[in-house]
Every structure is written in structure tokens, then in C-alpha cells.
């Protein structure tokens, strides 16, 4: 049975509208309540489907030019210097707005990518077969991806590190294939995603290395050798960083 205290707040949780304390409380509850976590997963799928379906209409190039001309004509001064202070003020405000919007777009793009990865991570863990190649041996898992991905990668030796390789499968981020590797540390599952570092991803993550949080998951991300790595999970930040270090040392 869903919990009447937490279940009504699921939408606010997925919309990141709960307080930090409530977010932590919901995280803890979802780990213990299969009914609410299943409900949260379905709501997240609906939210994601709405986001993808909602990005439907694109303005034509001709219409874009028409509006640009309209904006340019309005900006043109009619009486020379009399308009200068107002124009200067408008330019400053537009600049601030453009920078703000630009930053928002950047953040929005990265949040969108991380939300997609969160969906894959949660959906795969909820699946009866979270991985397609099941092996703790990196020399079994890595070759399994041959012919399935347009790139290759190195995996670290994990002996005496506390991490265990569970296996892997092919994942898709914005329709591009990549590797999804699953690791265990203690009772936690950590996903490692490896994709080609395309321009859209570079724009979303302009910094070479980044640390962030998405729906209370900890995320480490970096780019190297034309590949983009994401280490993703509900383990502690130290555990996520530890696995990231091992991957980087492995030539990642």
C-alpha cells in the first residue's frame, strides 16, 4: 500500500519542489517502500515522456528572420542622441537577460541529460535483468561491447577496493548508444555511463570535470579522449568519487 504521508508529495519531489529536509525524507522513504518507489518511477516516466513529446514545434527559418527584422527595426533610434540613454539601458537589460537565459539553457540542458540518466539508472535497477552481460570480470564485460558501440574504453582492476563489477548493457542517451556499467559498493548500486562526447553534451557540461546532484543522486562527470563519463548513484559522494578515481586511473 502506498504511504499516505509521502505518496501525495511524489509529484513535488519529482519536480524538485520539496524542501531539502523533505527531499531527504522522501529519499529514505523510497528506499524502504516498493509501492511508492514504483509509483515514483511511473510518474517520472510520464514526466519524461511529456518533456520529450512537448518539444515538438520548431519555428521556420523565414519566420525567425521576420522576427529578427521586427526586433531590429524597433531597436533602431528614431531621433539620434535623445534615445541613447534609453537604448543603453535597454541594451544592458537585454544583455543581462541574455546571459541569464544562456545560463539557464546551459543548466537546463545538463539537468535534462542527468534526468535521462536518472531514468535509465532507476528503470534498469527496477528491471528483473538490470544488465545484459553478467560478470564481475572486466575482461568479460569489456569485450561484450565489441561491435555494439562505436568506441572502446578501459575498466579498472577492483581487487581490494570494495567495489564489485556487476555487469553492463547498452544504453541510449539522446538516441546515441553508450555503455551502462553497474557496480556495487556495500548495499548501493552505482551506474557508470560512457558516451561519445558530442557537442550537445559538451555544451551541457562545459567544465571538463563536474560534480552535481540530480533527484538526490550524486553524479561525477568528466571528459577524456573524446568520451564522456558519468558515475551515478545514491551511494555517498566519497564512494562515487572513489569509483571515478579508479576509472580515471584505468585510462578513462
Partner 1 sequence: MPLFDSLYNFAHWLTQNREEAEDLVQETYAKALKGFGSFQPGTNFRAWIFRILRNTFLTSRTGLAATRTVPLETEDEEQTVAVSRETPESILLEQAGQQQVQAALEQVPVIFREVLLLCDVEEMSYQEIADTLGVPIGTVMSRLYRARKALRTALQEQDKMRETKHA
Closer to partner 1 by Cβ: residue 176 or 184: 176
Cell (9 digits) for 176: 546515441
Positions 5 through 64 that interact with partner 1 (CB under 8 A): 7-8, 11-12, 15-17, 38-39, 42-43, 45-47, 49-59, 63-64
**Smallest gap from residue 222 Cβ to partner 1 (A):** 25
For the stretch 126-155, what's the b/e string if a residue is b when 16 or more beta carbons lie within 10 angstroms of its beta carbon? Answer: eeeebbebbeeebeebbebbeeebeeebeb
**Smallest gap from residue 87 Cβ to partner 1 (A):** 11
Strand 176-185 to 163-173 pairing: antiparallel
Widest pairwise Cα distance in the chain: 76
Residue 86-125 contact track with partner 1, rule CB under 8 A, x = bound: ----x-xxx-xxx-xxx-x---x--xx-------------
Rounded Cα distance between 9 and 18, Å, is: 8
Rounded Cα distance between 171 and 117, Å, is: 9
Q: Which residues does 67 contact at the CB level (< 8 Å), separation at least 6?
A: none
**Smallest gap from residue 228 Cβ to partner 1 (A):** 22
Positions 230 through 249 that interact with partner 1 (CB under 8 A): none
Residues making contact with partner 1 (CB under 8 A): 2, 4, 7-8, 11-12, 15-17, 38-39, 42-43, 45-47, 49-59, 63-64, 66-68, 70-71, 74-75, 90, 92-94, 96-98, 100-102, 104, 108, 111-112
Amino acid at each position: 500500500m502506498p504511504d499516505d504521508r509521502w505518496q501525495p508529495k511524489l509529484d513535488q519531489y519529482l519536480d524538485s519542489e520539496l524542501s531539502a529536509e523533505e527531499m531527504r525524507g522522501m529519499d529514505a522513504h523510497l528506499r524502504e517502500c516498493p509501492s511508492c518507489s514504483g509509483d515514483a518511477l511511473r510518474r517520472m516516466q510520464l514526466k519524461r515522456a511529456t518533456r520529450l513529446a512537448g518539444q515538438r514545434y520548431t519555428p521556420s527559418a523565414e519566420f525567425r528572420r521576420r522576427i529578427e527584422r521586427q526586433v531590429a527595426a524597433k531597436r533602431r533610434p528614431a531621433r539620434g542622441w535623445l534615445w541613447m540613454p534609453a537604448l543603453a539601458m535597454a541594451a544592458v537589460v537585454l544583455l543581462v537577460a541574455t546571459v541569464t537565459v544562456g545560463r539557464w539553457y546551459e543548466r537546463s540542458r545538463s539537468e535534462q541529460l542527468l534526468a535521462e540518466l536518472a531514468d535509465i539508472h532507476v528503470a534498469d535497477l527496477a528491471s528483473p535483468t538490470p544488465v545484459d552481460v553478467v560478470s564481475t570480470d572486466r575482461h568479460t564485460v569489456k569485450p561484450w561491447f565489441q561491435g555494439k558501440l562505436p568506441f572502446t574504453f578501459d575498466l579498472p582492476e577492483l581487487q581490494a577496493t570494495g567495489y564489485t563489477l556487476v555487469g553492463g548493457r547498452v544504453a541510449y542517451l539522446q538516441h546515441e548508444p553508450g555503455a551502462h556499467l553497474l557496480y556495487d559498493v556495500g548495499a548501493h548500486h552505482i551506474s557508470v555511463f560512457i558516451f561519445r562526447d558530442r557537442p550537445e553534451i559538451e555544451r551541457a557540461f562545459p567544465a571538463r570535470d563536474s560534480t552535481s546532484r540530480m533527484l538526490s543522486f550524486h553524479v561525477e562527470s568528466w571528459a577524456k579522449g573524446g568520451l564522456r563519463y558519468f558515475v551515478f548513484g545514491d551511494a555517498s559522494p566519497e564512494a562515487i568519487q572513489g569509483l571515478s578515481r579508479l576509472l580515471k586511473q584505468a585510462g578513462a
